Structure 1
Amino acid sequence: MQILLANDDGIHAPSLHAMHAALQEWGDVTVVAPAIEQSGVGHSITYLHPLVAHKEFKNGEFFGWKVEGSPADCVKLGVLEFCPSKPDVIVSGLNTGANIGINVLYSGTVAAAIEGAFFGIPSFALSQWMDGPPDFAASARRAIPLCQQLLPKTRPGQLWNINFPPPRPGWPTGVEYVTMGVRRVAEEVEKRIDPRGRAYYWSGLNPIRSHLLDEGTDIKELQEGKITVTPLHFDLTEKAFLNELRSEKLSLPE
């Protein structure tokens, strides 16, 4: 089993190293990760200047490739250049923080998995909700059998978004297939003043609690201690609506 491991928190993230350790029980792992944190960059790619990659070592041994680019860049380079053969599986994570609701569209972690789906490779975006001290090793360990269960269910162009609850007593309480929670309560930007009297702003300070707790969504089930599993697809076409529209005629503008 050839596995490509990427993330958006950077190659030095403890969560990435926990995921790497767990994945070695499953197969041959190639790490290709950003040189610095790339959270929230979405599916950005580097094309206006060259991509630079360096070898990264851990305890004197080669650990992986450090890329001066985005998570999507890392997956592209991993598939085309650094993996010894085409990956059988792509894992993005373990992310430090949940990737749920509308925030999935901003996520570099999810974008890396989408890039894997572009190549037709089964891809998993794995994230850890940070609501107290995390146990990355435990979540990474649970991720392996879960990914193995989902692997044969993967369809062309589809990827999996998986979120783990924090390590509270009795959690996780189960695993649920869920939809994205797409209804926000509010979107806020917090204004602050620096010591020189200048305004600056923080956005996205409370991504989970800014959403409505609709039944069957990743937002609600994760907050009830569930591991949430959402099948995603990179084709954003509103197909049902498109089929309705095809029965109509558009007039050609003059």
Structure 2
Amino acid sequence: MRILLCNDDGYFAPGIEHLAHVLADVAEITVVAPERDRSGASNSLTLDRPLSLKRAANGFYHVNGTPTDCVHLAVTGMLDGLPDMVVSGINMGANMGDDTIYSGTVAAATEGFLLGIPSLAISLCGTPGEYFASAARVARELVEMLRRQALREPVLLNVNVPDIPYAQLRGTVVTRLGKRHKAEPVVRTLSPRNETVFWVGAAGAAADAGEGTDFHAVRNHLVSVTPLQVDLTHNAQLPLLRGWLAR
């Protein structure tokens, strides 16, 4: 089995090191990750300049681009064949609800999914994270589960693990994405050169966090596994729009 590892925190981040170490026993691992922290990069591709691929002393490859760049470059230009799976993470911090739209961690897994590869994004719900070993163990269990399945089509799973010891996890549940309130306003401040600058505000609190959501699961010390899709079509509005255009 061959697994491509990526993240959005950078090739030097502790989460990807934990993943590589734990998964090395069950698969041939290739790490291709951003050369620096690209959190919040979402699904962006770098189209205005060439990308470089370099290898670090620990054997990990790094790219001067986004998480999506890393997976796209690895699958379409670097590896001899398709990997059996793409695993992205372990992200330092949760990727739940609306966060998945902005997450580079989820984006890397999404790119693998779009290229026809079963993909998994895994995040540790704590900042700074303490129990990466818990998330790495969960990732390995899910990788082994997916390997045993006769998958008819690629899957894209978003996994969030509470930042607690593995023995304190209460199990794993399948969830839907919750929803946050809108983000806090941007923060206006002055730079050392007396220029007005803005910081993006903090994420809003959870608005839809009831039973069945990823927020509810993590709050109750459960691993949340949410299957994602990429089709953005608002199917319920198709008849409405057709009616407008028919007038």
Distance 2:118 2:184 in 1: 35
Distance 2:23 2:124 in 1: 16
Distance 2:123 2:218 in 1: 11
Q: Identify the residue that residue 77 of structure 2 maps to in structure 1.
A: 81
Deviates more, 1:167-176 or 1:198-207: 198-207
Q: Identify the residue that residue 5 of structure 2 maps to in structure 1.
A: 5
Return the offset for 1:150. 4.0
Whether contact under 8 Å (1:7, 1:93) holds in the other structure is: yes
- 1:1-254 matches, within 5 Å, as 1-58=1-58, 63-130=59-126, 133-150=129-146, 152=149, 156=153, 158-167=155-164, 171-182=168-179, 184-189=180-185, 191=187, 193-194=189-190, 199-206=196-203, 209-242=205-238, 244-245=239-240, 248=243, 250-251=245-246
**Number of matched pairs:** 245
Q: Which amino acid aligns with 2:40?
A: G
Whether contact under 8 Å (1:157, 1:234) holds in the other structure is: no
Whether contact under 8 Å (1:211, 1:219) holds in the other structure is: no
The DSSP-based 3-state class of the residue aligned with 2:223 is strand
Whether contact under 8 Å (2:178, 2:206) holds in the other structure is: no
Deviates more, 1:211-220 or 1:83-92: 211-220
Whether contact under 8 Å (2:186, 2:199) holds in the other structure is: yes
Whether contact under 8 Å (1:186, 1:210) holds in the other structure is: no
Return the offset for 1:154. 5.2
Return the offset for 1:199. 4.9
Identity of aligned residues (%): 37
Per-residue CA deviations over 1:23-47 (Å, capped at 9, x if unaligned) read 1011100100000000001000011
TM-score by length of 2: 0.89
Distance 2:207 2:19 in 1: 28
Per-residue CA deviations over 1:44-83 (Å, capped at 9, x if unaligned) read 001111011111112xxxx121100000000011112333
Q: Which amino acid aligns with 1:232?
A: L
Gaps of 5+ in 2: none
Distance 1:136 1:34 in 2: 19
TM-score by length of 1: 0.86
Gaps of 5+ in 1: none
Distance 1:24 1:167 in 2: 23
Distance 1:73 1:195 in 2: 31
